[in-house]
Amino acid sequence: MSQRVLTTESGAPVADNQNSATAGAGGPILIQDQHLLEKLARFNRERIPERVVHARGSGAYGYFEVTDDVTGFTSADFLSEVGRRTETFIRFSTVADSLGGADAVRDPRGFALKFYTNEGNYDLVGNNTPVFFIKDPIKFPDFIHSQKRDPFTGRQEPDNVWDFWAHAPEATHQVTWLMGDRGIPASYRHMNGYGSHTYQWTNAAGDAFFVKYHFKTNQGVRSLSAEQAAEQVGKDANSHQTDLLQAIERGVNPSWTLHVQVMPAAEAADYRFNPFDVTKVWPHADYPLQRVGRLVLDRNPDNVFGEVEQAAFSPNNFVPGIGPSPDKMLQGRLFAYADAQRYRLGINHTQLPVNAPKATNADNYGRDGLHATRYGSRQDKNYEPNSYAGPAQTGAPLAAPLPVQGWTGAHEAPLHTKDDDFFQAGELYRLMSADEKDRLIANIAGGLSQVTRDDVIEKNLAHFHAADADYGKRVEEAVRALRED
């Protein structure tokens, strides 16, 4: 194989890549050494702003195959027939830590999936938990600030973490998930994924349904104890990345089975609790899981920066037959996710290969901007409507319209008959085995006992008491014992 020629960014051959040009053998470096200056300047700019959340991630390509007929619920073309396959890209991630953080930590995991459909890209942005900490996006920056590094100490502070949760009783359900046995997945392959939010499906007849997505791992759920996780981090801080990469390279392709819960839209208004509250699950007895298909990952990215770090997901990337619901957290994310990528990657980030449509073409009037690669021909106009056969609207809505009424203003979500911040957390606790409860109590007490303010501890204990009397009693006793040591 002939040796390739090293060149500058402009394509000129490089004569010497080992020694800088100097004024004489021992003299100072010359500013005319264009190759040196270009290398240093480029190196200084190699990093882009990391994600504020979900910074540490891994990704893979694969496909989604439909196994069951769901055309009665959605007209989405990529779900239109059994056996249909759609190329996908997935990004797994931790939430709170920075890009250099470890994988095996107690933290929710991002589960962001891009379907390259022939009607455009569909992004499903979820987590490995079916619920979340808060229900209104106006609190999201505050929540994340409380979980990230303190501006004074430069580290994550138990006082901040638990103080926020003390003022967010709706977080009790997710805290119970996070501190339980599934709080530290053994790998990305051995955890479930959830859309978490409520979405809308619309069928060809225009009938609307609300759905929740459940990706069940076919490898089985495996998790780590706090002690096992600490040992894993010490051995390999990139343990989840290592596992995913090596499994796919060996041909051991991980897979998940997608199920959905389906609620006819007309039932939402009178459901016993708010079905759009992301801090709650829909009981399977009310809306059983219905199988849709399987997700298989079979190819690693060739370049982590180009494909994993630059992958951009936004829950407002819908396709016909799928749309949003009144879920307030989802509504906030419809803006925030896309805006985050415009900041990190620029206005033309959708033209990057990992983000660009693969089964169709983007055809619109967006032009110019940093890193633009799509210009159109000399006959194309950059305005609409026009008389030059430019792309035109279809007039067909992606999903069914949502009815609205009432006065504008900063409203709390309307109460349903059994809305409650603690009941489902208590139900989750009561489902646990004795050993699971022991570990949950130890995990919560280990963090809560480090809080320095008694009133913050008392507010959090009140949440656990409200969820279940035994739950609260045991957490209180465990915290007291640790603080007395």
Report the catalytic residues.
Answer: 54, 127
Question: What are the φ/ψ torsions at residue 152 (nearest 5 degrees)?
Answer: -95, -50
Dihedral sign for Cα atoms in the order 35, 39, 40, 42: positive
* Amino acid of residue 50: E
Q: 29 φ, ψ to 5°?
A: -70, 145
Q: Which tokens is 272 given?
A: 């016993």
Q: 97, 82 in Cβ contact below 8 A?
A: no
- Counting every residue written for the chain, the total comes to 485
In angstroms, the CA 348 to CA 360 distance is 17
**What's the sign of the alpha-carbon dihedral 409, 415, 421, 427?**
negative
Cis peptide leading into residue 13 (ω within 30°): no
Q: What are phi and psi of 357, to 5 degrees?
A: -60, 145
Closest by CA to 259, choosing from 230, 282, 225, is 282
Check residue 212 and give left, alpha or beta (phi > 0: left; psi -120 to 50: alpha): beta
CA distances (Å), 121 to each of 88, 118, 125, 323, in order?
9, 8, 13, 13
CB within 8 A of 30, min separation 6: which ones?
Answer: 21, 22, 23
Which residues, including other chains, have CB under 8 Å from residue 248's CB and lie 6 or more apart? 60, 254, 297, 298, 299, 300
Q: CB-based burial of residue 4 (10 Å sphere; 0-12 exposed, 13-18 middle, 19+ buried)? A: exposed
Angle at 192 between CA 331 and CA 464, to 5 degrees: 75
92 phi, psi to nearest 5 deg:
-95, 155
Query: If we measure between CA atoms, which residue out of 87, 86, 103, 60 comes closest to residue 248?
Result: 60
Helices (H), 368-468: 423-431, 434-448, 454-467
H or E stretch including 323?
strand 322-323
Q: Which residue has the tokens 């949760």?
A: 165
DSSP state at residue 180:
S
Rg (CA), the chain: 25
